[in-house]
Structure 1
Amino acid sequence: MVVVSVRSAHRKRYALLFFSITGIIIYRHFRGQPESMPINRSKGFTANSSQFTLGGETFRILGGSLHYFRIPRAYWKDRMMKMKACGLNTLTTAVPWNLHEPEKGSFQFYGDLDLETFLLQAADLGLWVILRPGPYIGSELDLGGLPSWLLRDGKMKLRTTYPGFTQAVESFLDKLIPKVVPLQFKKGGPIIAVQLEQDYGSYASDSKYMPFLKEAFQSRGVSELLLTSDKPEGLKNGGVKGVLRALNLRTWDLKDERFLEIMQPNSPVLIMEYWTGWFDSWGNLHHCFPVEDMTASIRQIMQRGMSINLHMFHGGTNFGFMNGALQNPFYKSVITSYDYDAPLTEAGDYTPKYQMLRDLFNRYHNNPLPEVPALRWKERYETAIMYQHLSLWDALPFTHLPFKSKTPVNMENLPVNNRNGQAYGYTLYEATITTGGSLKSGNNIRDRALVFVNRTFIGTLSFKTTELTVSDGKEKRTLSFLVENCGRVYSGEAMDNQRKGIVGDILLNDVPLRDFTIHSLDMTSTFIDNLYKAPWKSLPAKPSFPGFVQGRLFVDGYPSDTFVKLPSWIKGVVFINSHNVGRYWNIGPQQALYVPGPFLNTGPNQVVVFEEEESDLKVQFEDSPDLGMSVDIQ
């Protein structure tokens, strides 16, 4: 093994240096070489005229994507061991800027975001690493992994050399890159390559941007091979001089290979993203890619001697409000599950794809593959006992202080979170009216609003529904809009226009509403913890919604993975012991949310559900997933 996993950063680097100096014996994963022998650390991963080499020896990437931020830390090693047992030698992971720097200048690299420990665990298991530090990573994340506070700048141009963007990028890289430089291959670590950006050729709005990134990484000490990753149509505009171009695709086509040869002659081929499945969005079916079709494509790629990275090998979960959204042909938000129909399921279970890949990749190893790790038990727990209720209106004193404004203010520009604005969740906008009539939102509700008059629900506004009727009345009444950020678009030109909440005027009888009181309900773990101090009431026979319902799940013995199911609830968010498990919505396809065992405690567990519309108050816990009706990807 390359390194040992120790806690402090200082001891990590000391151990890494020690093993590098002593010429440690490491695992090898390519045919024609013993699988355990000394390696030359002075020569990194390189692309010669017809083949890749690592340490001066022929090397073929058999890789898979695994996102640490979509997996509980306690399960990192389990997923890596399953990757190793499948015959893979390389792990690819992305770095989500928005999670690591949630507020400008405030960085988080601990707990489930402890990138260094994740990389050291990969090394400890004999896996090489391709690191995707972005700054944009796509990955169907909110804003493609970029922090929402960037949008406080009304002139912001993301993924360009606009000074407001590059300055923020450099500040983030100043913090990130020193953490990974000591973990590079030539310094004794597992990182053999670093990817710049993601799919930039499909966007390519600034010819100076990719050279800027190349210099930004190299000037901070990144010395391993740099690469880009694009769909075939983006190869021309997504590359940068001196950086390897890699491909993203699902079905291999000879014309794609020939086009890559034109763009990058005399070079081996790396399929950086071979799509093993696809993601899902609310209101659609669950996407599946037949194992037979996947097998045929991968065999063809392998027979042509190419390197491959399976995207995703294990998808994981969009816990909290992590999910992004699609823009074309119209707005659709990505679901909580990121199962991706990958070889490993969302909960880390094996699929027929896994077994097929293990059989295939086994042919490219001289020694037998490791034993397949045992699966973790899934538990069907008793239905949670829900016993308390808190209306949305009674929860308001436990949010951020309300903000008053003449005109609506979008989430990102609210004066909350140390003036970084609101990133995720819901925002309540309230104004006083003295008449009824036609309420028109245009395209200024982002993304969905429940509308109330004197706290009585009158309808929903969204990009589909932009007009409601308000009943007549001359007395003063409160008109309320509970607006949900359903996920920012994660790719394309629309990213610059992903401010959420109410982003422009709302008209009542063609007159703009004015004088708003705005409440930020970001629903962080701190917010949920504060709610425990609120004046909860015993659960009435017919509780009012929107509101919170609280109950308990009892766990006997060591906690197991489970799946929370809400068959007669409409739309909302589930919190288990203050962990935001994710969104649910009865339009599907997803019908159950994954709850990892590490989120649970032995004994009583606090269950809080925020429901928008109505419920039968039954919170079930099943032992199997339910991703809804499926459709095959063609």
Structure 2
Amino acid sequence: MTHREGLRANSTHFTLGGTPFRILGGSIHYFRVPRAYWRDRLLKLKACGLNTLTTYVPWNLHEPEKGVYHFCEQLDLEAYIRLAADLDLWVILRPGPYICAEWDLGGLPSWLLRDKNMKLRTTYSGFTAAVNSYFDHLIARVAPLQFKRGGPIIAVQVENEYGSYAKDEHYLTFIKEALESRGITELLLTCDNREGLNCGGVKGVLQTINLQKLSYGAVQHLADLQPQKPLLVMEYWCGWFDVWGEPHHVFCAQDMIAVLKELLEHGVSINLYMFHGGTSFGFMNGATDLTSYKPQINSYDYDAPLSESGDYTIKYHLLRDLLRGLQNEELPRLPAVQNKQVYEPVVLSQHISLWESLQCAEKPFRSDDPVNMENLPVNHNSGQSYGYTLYETTIYSGGALNSRNHVRDRALVFVDKHFIGVLDYRMQELVVPHSERERTLGLLVENCGRVNYGPALDNQRKGLVGDITLNHTPLKKFTMFSLDLAPSFINRLQSLRWRSTGQPPLYPAFFRGSLMVEGQPRDTFITLPGWLKGVVIVNGENLGRHWSVGPQNTLYLPGPWLKSGDNQVIVFEEHRAGSQIQFEENPQHGKITDVSRQPFCTLL
């Protein structure tokens, strides 16, 4: 197929191939959906009446260590884009390098932070050199998939919401030129919220807007900034994300449809963020820090039209009804719903303590002063990105242990392996019991997720980021163990001697059991009654955190990650284990808050 003219924004309406075109888009992130389900989710997007797929590209997954690139299996971006083309969907690619996305450090790799002078999202030479190297690999893969070369990519985004950051007036020009010099020839665009539009533009690039409610004349402001240009809501927020310890956010389906209906009636193009949110598996969730630090949960359900596990919702059906009226032909039939399975409860009959597991970690590192995660000499000197770091030192007295706010983000504190309390942003001092003898002080520090949006992005080194004191004296001579719970660590853990649960565990501890699956594996949700906080790993796949504070009370376990027969379940528990894990057909949330309960304004 020979394509002619690509997506153009030369009048108040888009054209594609020289004919009028309206973008009806939906965001689905390939990295948040098991590859086995990519086709299912994209078919459901198409059956809803949408014509365009949008996706971010997470730099920190594609280059997890400096100079080490991953673009295969779950991260096969080219296969994802080609699949969209096979299903007659267009693609808007959002390669970043910063993506926000409620994703750790907004998608930027943590090894950038090894440079003590690093200035993220600027033309600082250390950052631009890293971006150039990454783009050399990324853009070479996606450039052949552009519209003019026979592919489905009709537009490419220049960075993401830079108007809300705006640290460097030359930065967006650098990113634009980095894309164009590597062969990106399709329409370029930026996106910003209402407040960021004035600072988020760059010459020759179409500006678009992100919003949820039609308020403050946002769309009209965009129209005034760009007379005689088409209007695109690049992110229509049809839901919202959740943080640990706060209610689950929902957005009223009828209010969503009312906004979309008005946008469409005024000829505005739309992209639903998210159409299907999926899951931030493992340790990839981000965090907010606008007034205080709040880590996000693993579920990225987002109250989207397609649920976390790909189920249809009332939003989906209402949206499909709305979009059906814009089509010249019948919409495709709805793909079948994925069946769920409530498996029998699993008793985790073996355990091994964290302290015994240390022999499976990389060689410990010793230093007079504590070293933050990113600067540890591990992972081929790219540092530690995620998980936990254990800091140990010798103490000779008791008294006031003060973190000086240097714990990022949460530390379990032990004296001779006995838990004495937690240090975090709110609790910065503990009393260490007095003793005359030499003892080992341990701090198991967890990276709960790097901030993904806002000015705090520049201060996201994790672990211990400075001195901690005992009776006002800085502690010295630390031994540090990197515990990122990577697959290699979990594999080594298997060879150790596990104890039966008849023996009381020494916490924190790993617990192990077997889930028996008969026949074809199906999706399910894990629930952990009686457990307090930790991580769940099934067949080597890190599903994410469990934490009794909610709102996420279940973890999504995709059927393709199970097999017929025995499936290994490992739970890392920090505080207290329950007697078993159980399964549910549907996710369980705690208290719910509705983000739509505010007055609406008209568009124009």
Q: Same fold (TM over 0.5)?
A: yes
Residues 441-520 of structure 1: pairs in structure 2 closer than 5 A: 441-520=403-482
Q: Note the C-alpha offset of 1:274.
A: 0.2
Residue in 1 that maps onto 2:559: 597
Match of residue 572 from structure 1: 534
Task: Report the Cα distance in structure 2 between the residues aligned to 1:610 and 1:255, rounded to whole angstroms.
Answer: 49
Deviations 1:339-398 (A, max 9, x none): 000000000000000000000001111110000001011000011131111000000000
Q: Aligned to 1:397, which of 334, 351, 359?
A: 359
Compare 343-352 and 608-617 and name the one that shifted more: 608-617
1:492-518 residue CA offsets vs partner (Å, 9 max, x unmatched): 221111000000000000000000000
Helix, strand or coil at the partner of 1:46: coil
**After the TM superposition, which of the residue ranges 527-536 and 399-408 deviates more from structure 2?**
527-536
Q: Is the 8 A contact 2:524 2:558 kept in 1?
A: yes
SS in structure 1 at match of 2:199: helix
| Cα distance in 2, alignment partners of residues 71 and 287 from structure 1 | 21
CA distance in 2, matches of 1:614, 1:451: 15
In the alignment, which of 9, 19, 27 is matched to residue 57 of structure 1? 19
Spell out, residue by residue over 1:171-193, the C-alpha distance to the aligned partner (whole angstroms, 9 max, x if none). Answer: 00000001001100000000000
Question: Per-residue deviation at 1:204?
Answer: 0.5
How far apart are the structure 1 equivalents of 2:475 and 2:432?
13
Deviation per CA, 1:120-170: give whole Å up to 9, x if none.
000000000000000000000000000000000000000000000000000
Structure 1 residues 618-627 or 459-468, which shifts more? 618-627
Residue pairs, 1:189-228, within 5 angstroms: 189-228=151-190
User: What amino acid maps onto 2:449 in structure 1?
Assistant: G
Read off the aligned partner of 2:20 and give its amino acid letter.
Answer: T
Q: State the partner residue of 1:383.
A: 345
Pair 1:416 & 2:373 matched: no
Q: Do residues 134 (structure 1) and 88 (structure 2) align?
A: no
Aligned to 1:168: 130
CA contact (8 A) 1:72 1:112 kept: yes
Question: Does 1:361 pair with 2:323?
Answer: yes
Aligned to 2:225: 263
Please show how residues 612-623 of structure 1 align to structure 2 within 5 Å: 612-623=574-585
CA contact (8 A) 1:252 1:300 kept: no
Cα distance in 2 for residues equivalent to 1:546 and 1:124 = 48
Identity %: 58
Report what 2:235 is aligned to: 273
Partners of 1:414 and 1:421 within 8 A in 2: yes
Residue aligning to 2:6: 44
Counterpart of 2:349 in structure 1: which amino acid? Y
Separation in 2, partners of 1:379, 1:458 = 40
- Deviation string 1:254-304 (CA, Å, 9 cap, x unpaired) is 722221122211111000000000000000000000011111111110100
What is the alpha-carbon root mean square deviation over aligned residues?
Answer: 0.8
Q: What is residue 203 of structure 2 aligned with on the other side?
A: 241
Deviation string, structure 1 residues 564-601 (Cα, Å, up to 9, x no partner): 10011000000000100110100000000000001101
Deviations 1:441-491 (A, max 9, x none): 021000000000000000000001000000111210000000000000001
How far apart, in 2, do the equivalents of 1:242 and 1:253 lie? 28
Which one is further off, 491-500 or 450-459?
A: 491-500
Match of 2:487 in 1: 525
Paired residue type of 1:500: K
Cα deviations across residues 168-222 of structure 1 (Å, max 9, x unaligned)? 0000000000100110000000000000111100000100000000100000000
- Could you tell me which of 586, 593, 599 is aligned with 2:548? 586
- 2:198 aligns to what SS in structure 1? helix
1:489 partner amino acid:
V
TM-superposed CA distance for 1:604, in Å, is 0.2
1:188 maps onto 2:150 in alignment = yes
Tell me whether 1:439 sits opposite 2:401 in the alignment. yes
Deviation of 1:253 after TM superposition, in Å, equals 3.4
Pair 1:88 & 2:50 matched: yes
Query: What is aligned with 2:192?
Result: 230
Q: In structure 2, give the amino acid aligned to 1:231.
A: N
**Equivalent position amino acid for 1:108 in 2:** H
* Paired residues of 2:27 and 2:276 also in contact (CA < 8 A): yes
Aligned residue type for 1:232: R
- TM-score, normalised to structure 1, is 0.93
Q: Is the 8 A contact 2:354 2:507 kept in 1?
A: yes
Whole-Å Cα distance in 2 between the matches of residues 275 and 261 of structure 1?
20
Unaligned runs of 5+ residues in structure 2 are 597-604
**Cross-structure match for 1:11:** none
Q: Provide closer, same or farther for how the CA distance between residues 254 and 390 of structure 1 changes in structure 2, counting only shifts above 3 A.
A: closer
Q: How big is each residue's C-alpha offset from its partner over 1:220-252, in whole Å with a ceiling of 9 and x where there is no partner? A: 000000000100110110010000000000012
| SS in structure 2 at match of 1:138 | coil
SS at match of 2:349: strand
Superposition deviation, residue 541 in structure 1: 4.8
CA distance in 1 between partners of 2:300 and 2:488 (Å): 25
Secondary structure in structure 1 of the residue aligned to 2:325: helix
For 1:258 and 1:597, the matched residues in 2 are separated by 46
